[in-house]
Structure 1
């Protein structure tokens, strides 16, 4: 069984998560291709694959426009085959119900905008990359992190992703797709 992972990313963390997921799938015996939703060439074609995983990160309440456009363009194919979604956000690392509700609201808006309903969804905590932020974004992220009890030492970057949970999600999804019905 072959898996296609298509992603949208702003700072590169979601791309890294997708390559990690592809390695986990490969080690579990599932050949996997990873491609960006937008790369200046034609978009990835999902039809030759047995399963598809889309991944994007939330920034200011929205996912990356190229990934949203890709899901919208491919919604009929995605709805017709096993397809999952990985939503990457700091809200997924939150410790309060409002954090989780924010993530759920973004996923619901994404489903409405794209006309695609994923068969499975995983909420992955993102990263805080202070080293990549300008003064204003660093200030905003310090505020967001402090609100959620997350690290705020701006001389360091933080990866908040639970890689074991991500690996269990992608391999479990692929195994379920492959299992006889």
Structure 2
């Protein structure tokens, strides 16, 4: 199957997820076209039989270039099976999953789109790349007292095995 993976990344983790999806699906024999919205790579989905979308949530929203791409590709997306991977720290914790779903639902309303399937993917925390204010926001607002260990350091919450199974299931249904 020919699959387009359209993604946005801000700190690199969603790029890592998109690359994982590419590798996982290529290993299964699919032809993959990887397109990053921040680079202007996304112009058409011509030739794609299915689409996987992936974007992180920062400050309650997915990146503007990603949302712009969804609006521009609306008719093409509607004509194909689509899987949306919404990546956020909120998705890593049971107490945050409802809020993570709200971020995705709000984006769908803003962009006037729906997806065949969607997954809330736990993201990563990378405090080494944050300034003081960003660290405090992540600690106090995003994590809200979640115990993620004794030190505030880089941590990946993505369940890679579960993500691989979800990708395989989506392509099997598409």
Which range, TM-score by smaller chain?
over 0.9
Unaligned runs of 5+ in 1: none
Is 1:131 the equivalent of 2:128?
A: yes
Q: Distance in 1 between matches of 2:151 and 2:143?
A: 10
- 1:140-160 per-residue CA deviation (whole Å, 9 max, x = no partner) reads 222233523334613x31011
In the alignment, structure 1 residue 140 sits paired with structure 2 residue 137 = yes
Give CA deviations for 1:133-180 in whole Å, capped at 9, x if unaligned. Answer: 1111112222233523334613x3101100011111111111111xxx
Residue 110 of structure 1, aligned match among 107, 111, 114? 107
Q: Please, what is the CA RMSD of the aligned residues? A: 1.4
Q: Which runs of 4+ in 1 moved over 4 A?
A: none
Number of corresponding residues: 173
CA distance in 2, matches of 1:170, 1:3: 11
Change (3 A) 1:44 1:15: farther
Aligned to 1:38, what secondary structure does the other structure show?
Answer: helix
Question: Aligned residue for 1:2?
Answer: 2
Secondary structure in 2 matching 1:61: coil
Tell me what 1:91 maps to.
Answer: 90
Q: Is the CA contact (8 Å cut-off) linking 1:95 and 1:148 kept in structure 2?
A: no
Q: SS state of the match for residue 151, structure 2?
A: coil
TM-score w.r.t. length of structure 2? 0.94
- Unpaired runs of 5+ residues, structure 2, are none
Residues 83-117 of structure 1: CA deviation (Å, up to 9, x unaligned)? 11000001110122xx1111111111111111110
When the two structures are superposed, what TM-score results if normalisation uses the length of structure 1? 0.90
Aligned equivalents of 2:97 and 2:32: distance in 1?
Answer: 30
| Secondary structure at the counterpart of residue 84 of structure 2 | strand
